[in-house]
């Protein structure tokens, strides 16, 4: 038992001494708070703009794609997405009303912002503004889409890692 404790201590000492040369330059720089903020952002996660791809709505009425205009998507940066809505047989839906919800189910919180569709870009495309992720992890984006008297919902799940 005792000798294993010694081995463990030696291993810890090695790990700590190995880390010190890496940590030292960071601590020595000016604007330390800013450096820390940036390193938090970098480790907070990112993903490619087209990660979500195309998905059918729950009842199969629409096919929806969502692509970020910020590529890669990183945390703590407010940005816009382009949504595309078409019918199940591929015709663009140009009169859709789209309600936006989302957040992190595992953390039980929503978006830090209130993203919403602000512009109909025509040909089934819509501008979704105010998207922002404030941490890495699994997020969901739910779009409730109405066109005429038809309504359906799609939920995208994705991870900033
Ligand atoms: Cu969270």
CA distance 34 to 47: 23
Predicted structure pTM score: 0.74
Residue 15, judged by CB atoms within 10 A of its CB (0-12, 13-18, 19+), counts as exposed
Counting the structural domains of the chain, the total is: 2
Do 88 and 155 lie in a common domain? Answer: yes
* Range(s) of the domain holding residue 8: 2-44
Going from the Cα of 42 to the center of ligand 1, the distance in angstroms, rounded, reads: 16
Expressed in angstroms and rounded, the spacing between residue 28 Cα and the centre of ligand 1 is 31
Q: Are residues 82 and 39 in the same domain?
A: no
Instruction: Please tell me the distance between residue 76's alpha carbon and the centre of ligand 1 in angstroms.
Output: 12
Rounded Cα–Cα distance for residues 154 and 146 (Å)? 11
Q: Could you check whether the bond before residue 72 is cis, i.e. omega within 30 degrees of 0?
A: yes
Q: Same domain for 50 and 74?
A: yes
> Do 37 and 84 fall within a single domain?
no
Q: Ligand 1 center to residue 135 CA distance, Å?
A: 6
**pLDDT tens over the chain, length 161 residues:** 455 554 444 444 444 444 444 444 443 334 344 444 443 444 589 999 999 999 999 999 999 999 999 999 999 999 999 999 999 999 999 999 999 999 999 999 999 999 999 999 999 999 999 999 999 999 999 999 999 999 999 999 999 99
Dihedral sign computed on CA atoms, order 59, 47, 127, 109? positive
Contact between residue 100 and residue 80 where contact means Cβ atoms under 8 Å apart: no
Question: Within 13 Å, how many C-alpha atoms sit on residue 151's CB side?
Answer: 6
């Amino acid at each position: 038992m005792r000798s294993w404790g010694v081995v463990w201590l030696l291993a810890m000492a090695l790990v700590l001494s190995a880390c010190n040369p890496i940590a030292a330059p960071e601590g020595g720089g000016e604007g330390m708070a800013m450096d820390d903020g940036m390193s938090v952002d970098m480790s907070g996660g990112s993903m490619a703009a087209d990660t979500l791809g195309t998905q059918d709505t729950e009842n199969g009425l629409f096919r929806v794609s969502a692509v970020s205009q910020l590529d890669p998507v990183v945390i703590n940066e407010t940005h816009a997405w382009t949504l595309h809505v078409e019918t199940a047989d591929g015709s663009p839906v140009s009169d859709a009303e789209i309600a936006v919800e989302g957040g992190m189910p595992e953390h039980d919180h929503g978006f830090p912002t209130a993203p919403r569709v602000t512009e109909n870009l025509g040909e089934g495309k819509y501008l979704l503004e105010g998207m922002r992720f404030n941490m890495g992890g699994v997020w969901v984006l739910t779009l409730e889409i109405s066109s005429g008297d038809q309504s359906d919902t799609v939920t995208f799940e994705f991870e900033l890692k």
